[in-house]
Structure 1
Amino acid sequence: MKEFLFFAKRLSRNKADYWLVDELIESLNENNIKSNVFLLDSRSEFPKGLSVHNGINVYSYPMGRGSLGKLSSLVIANLYFSIVMLGFFLKNKKIEALISFSIGSYFFLPSLLSKKVLHTRQSIFILWDFFPIHQVEVGAIPKSIERLLKFMEKLTISKFEVVGLMSEKNKDFFKRYFDLTCKKVIIPIWGCDGLINSRKGKWDNGKLNLIFGGQITKGRGIDELLTLGQRIDELGLPVNIDVYGAGTLKSYFKTESKKINSLNYKGLVSREEYGDLLNFYDVGLIITVPDVSIPTYPSKVIDYLRVGIPTLALIEDSTDFGEILEANNVGLYSLTNEIDEAIKNIERLFSMKNNGSILDYASSTKEFYNSTHNVKNISHKILALLGEELNVS
């Protein structure tokens, strides 16, 4: 059995709360791959040090609290993971492949040492987030430290032979921003095998019912969501938007949304409950921040595709995400700052609900999900990338 090593910032003990890394590891395990994980444990789910979970060797170090606590834990964790890697070398432990994820510089030191210490045959960096430029543009971190953070991130990524990006515009942006010569391939964001169908039925309230789920934080389109709700109210449209999630802007959003009839803040629910609730909605809503240069590919679309509902996206003009939605007949899009265009799409979807044609999205969404975003296809693609070196069937 071949062994892979993952650098990860999140892993779950509970299958109902599985995340991207959990899903990928499970799928690779079905292909006879044994996994080792260096975990920077931000949720304190795993004991410090080595533990075994579902056959996975988890080397965990807890993330500290507060700015100073996080920084010190990052330094110590990088030293700890580097020492563990040295132990692999001394014990002649064969790690065939290394897989890491953005933000890469969380694992700065072990990434730099990996080739000399591990002698892996292949390594893949999967990039979901263009750090630090995305965080700077949405105001999450100060521009004064962008240069240093970019240097660290670029140096980290440069130690990987393959970089997986979510779309063609992501590939183009990567070339311009990081200017690295590594092999660049499309690896879309994924979801677990199987569809969310535990409960069925839609609310028959005479309205178009939309769901918005995710982090209620800066850079997540929260102000734009409020603007959309205000416009819906002004026009008197029969539209209901339920919002699930939590974050640093929760209190702000909760207060402001009470002034808007079309918006309803539902709070934070479990992953399992969220999956059940999705079945009752007509449309999944995605909103990104306007006027950013990076092309986003929002992960929340995965659950909308899995349950078979169309996506209504309000997105920045630098991305090809909306074009991908419409080309595959899985949703409609407009630019975030073009609210009237979004209203036209809402009216179109409401008309489709009334004549029943909105149900036609069910087959196209599930087909697109299974062909493009199913974790089984992603794991097979990763194994195919490694196959030239590993001869993994």
Structure 2
Amino acid sequence: MNILFLTIAHITNTNDRGIYTDLMRQFRDKGHKVTIVSSAERRYGIPTGLSTQNGIEILKVSTLNLQKTNVIEKGIGTLLLEYQFLSAIKKYLSNVKFDLVLYSTPPITLTKVVKFVKKRDAAKTYLLLKDIFPQNAVDLNMISQGGLLHRYFRKKEKALYAVSDNIGCMSPANAAYVCANNPEIDPTKVEVCPNSIALTHEPALTATEKSTIREKYKLPSAATLFIYGGNLGKPQGIGFLLQVLRTNENLKNAFFVIVGSGTEFPLIQKWFDSNKPKNALLLKGLPKEEYDKLVKACDVGLIFLERKFTIPNYPSRLLSYLENRMPIITATDRSTDIGSIAEANGYGLSAISGDLEAINKHIHHLCENPDVIKAMGEKGYDYLKNNYTVERCYEIIMKEPR
């Protein structure tokens, strides 16, 4: 089969690890011909063009900056994206007949692209729903409920759902939300198709290897290391993360590592500069390979989400924690099921964002019980193997006759 994947993810190497590159390699390895159409944001200075990499075709489309930029450029770039993708596909992929079109959110503005390929090639369409927009923007007070922008993008959202033969959601709560808030959708086409990765089956670090990594970043050898890695933006509820750091400044057997980038990084940097915490380290986004090594040297993964969310997010950073046999602590809104799933399956502890007493209790509990950390970490790895692999995701997508 010829597979077309549309995404705004910045893909530079198809052999890099990531939820999309891992899945596309799985399709390739199953004998399919894969073509990726991805944005080349203005900041990278890459012209539109087609290339082949590791047996996968990549059509890079020059666009405005769409992520980690100001609201105005992001808005204009998102609106132009549909026409830029469509133009590039017509120019570079006119002779390819696709059997299946996969596409992820964000953005929700690729409906015309999906419709074009679907009609031209009689292709099946599958939406990988990673973001529920515009409601997430309403939750963060970025746009007004019922306002002009909200109505415009809500119409776009519904159109994308309508053109999709199947909608793969990240979790049961995610799927339930989509059905409940879009009653016109046939619920039989909505299913759980979670974030997934290709397992590397690498052995755990030896004590010496772990010590070497900790020494590199001047991390204490005896303390329990809690790591928060990933995007540092408004959706992550950074204010509460800083409260957690502040209230645990005197906890000698705990150390917190915050690594990532995003719109709220300057705020976090300012807090670190002012407070100079002795048991916390802030690192600006690391290359993926270095980040993965750092995670391996840590003990517990942290997941934070803004408490205002009414949509059930499911951050993909969970996967690297579970792969490295680390339990998680979540501080989230009440809508997501990422914490409840972790607790039900024994690999995590959850709290509502803003509940300092609850999350600090979890932190202290794990600091005092290394055996619990190990046992929960093993349960998390087992859950990952059974639920969050690209093999399973591939089977879900391909289970219907194509």
TM-score normalised per structure 2: 0.86
Per the alignment, residue 111 of structure 1 pairs with 114
What SS does the aligned partner of 1:264 have?
strand
Per the alignment, residue 217 of structure 2 pairs with none
CA contact (8 A) 2:139 2:309 kept: yes
CA contact (8 A) 2:15 2:54 kept: no
Letter in 2 for 1:349: L
CA distance in 1, matches of 2:296, 2:263: 28
CA spacing shift, 1:292–1:4, aligned 2, 3 Å: same
Q: Does 1:238 align with 2:253?
A: yes
CA distance in 2, matches of 1:63, 1:200: 44
CA distance in 1, matches of 2:163, 2:301: 38
Unaligned residue ranges in structure 1 (runs of 5+): none
CA distance in 2, matches of 1:365, 1:159: 36
Choose which of 95, 98, 123 in structure 2 pairs with 1:95: 98
The CA deviation at 1:115 is 2.8
CA distance in 1, matches of 2:154, 2:80: 21
Write the mapping of 1:145-160 to structure 2, written as runs, cut at 5 A.
Answer: 145-160=149-164
CA contact (8 A) 2:11 2:38 kept: no
The CA deviation at 1:374 is 1.2
Per the alignment, residue 360 of structure 1 pairs with 375
Per the alignment, residue 166 of structure 2 pairs with 162
CA distance in 2, matches of 1:168, 1:221: 23
Per the alignment, residue 13 of structure 2 pairs with 14
Q: Percent identity?
A: 21
Unaligned residue ranges in structure 2 (runs of 5+): 212-219
1:197-255 deviation per Cα after TM superposition (whole angstroms, max 9, x unaligned): 4744356644221011112222212111001112213x645321111011222221012
What SS does the aligned partner of 2:25 have?
helix
CA spacing shift, 1:191–1:46, aligned 2, 3 Å: farther
CA distance in 1, matches of 2:56, 2:286: 28
Q: Does 1:284 align with 2:291?
A: no
CA spacing shift, 1:156–1:365, aligned 2, 3 Å: same
CA distance in 1, matches of 2:79, 2:309: 31
The CA deviation at 1:283 is 0.4
The CA deviation at 1:82 is 2.9
1:161-197 deviation per Cα after TM superposition (whole angstroms, max 9, x unaligned): 1000111111111112233424011101112221454
CA distance in 2, matches of 1:261, 1:89: 55
CA contact (8 A) 2:14 2:54 kept: no
CA spacing shift, 1:161–1:88, aligned 2, 3 Å: farther
CA spacing shift, 1:308–1:56, aligned 2, 3 Å: same
Write the mapping of 1:1-393 to structure 2, written as runs, cut at 5 A.
Answer: 2-14=1-13, 17-42=16-41, 44=44, 47-65=47-65, 77-83=81-87, 91=95, 93-120=96-123, 122-141=124-143, 144=147, 145-182=149-186, 183-195=189-201, 197=203, 199-201=205-207, 202=210, 205-233=221-249, 236=251, 238-258=253-273, 259=275, 260-353=277-370, 356-385=371-400, 388=401, 390=402
What SS does the aligned partner of 1:59 have?
strand
1:270-299 deviation per Cα after TM superposition (whole angstroms, max 9, x unaligned): 110011111211101111111321111111
Letter in 2 for 1:229: L
TM-score normalised per structure 1: 0.88
CA distance in 1, matches of 2:173, 2:361: 26
CA spacing shift, 1:239–1:124, aligned 2, 3 Å: same
CA contact (8 A) 1:124 1:162 kept: yes
Aligned length: 381
What SS does the aligned partner of 1:214 have?
strand
CA distance in 2, matches of 1:112, 1:69: 26
Letter in 2 for 1:126: L
CA spacing shift, 1:68–1:15, aligned 2, 3 Å: same
CA distance in 1, matches of 2:360, 2:135: 30
CA spacing shift, 1:151–1:208, aligned 2, 3 Å: same
1:30-58 deviation per Cα after TM superposition (whole angstroms, max 9, x unaligned): 10111122222236485413222222222
Letter in 2 for 1:163: I
The CA deviation at 1:118 is 2.5
CA contact (8 A) 2:327 2:347 kept: yes
Letter in 2 for 1:231: T
1:58-114 deviation per Cα after TM superposition (whole angstroms, max 9, x unaligned): 2221122466666665565533533455579974x3311111111242323212333
What SS does the aligned partner of 2:369 have?
helix
The CA deviation at 1:135 is 2.2
Letter in 2 for 1:155: A
CA contact (8 A) 1:286 1:312 kept: yes
CA spacing shift, 1:119–1:46, aligned 2, 3 Å: farther
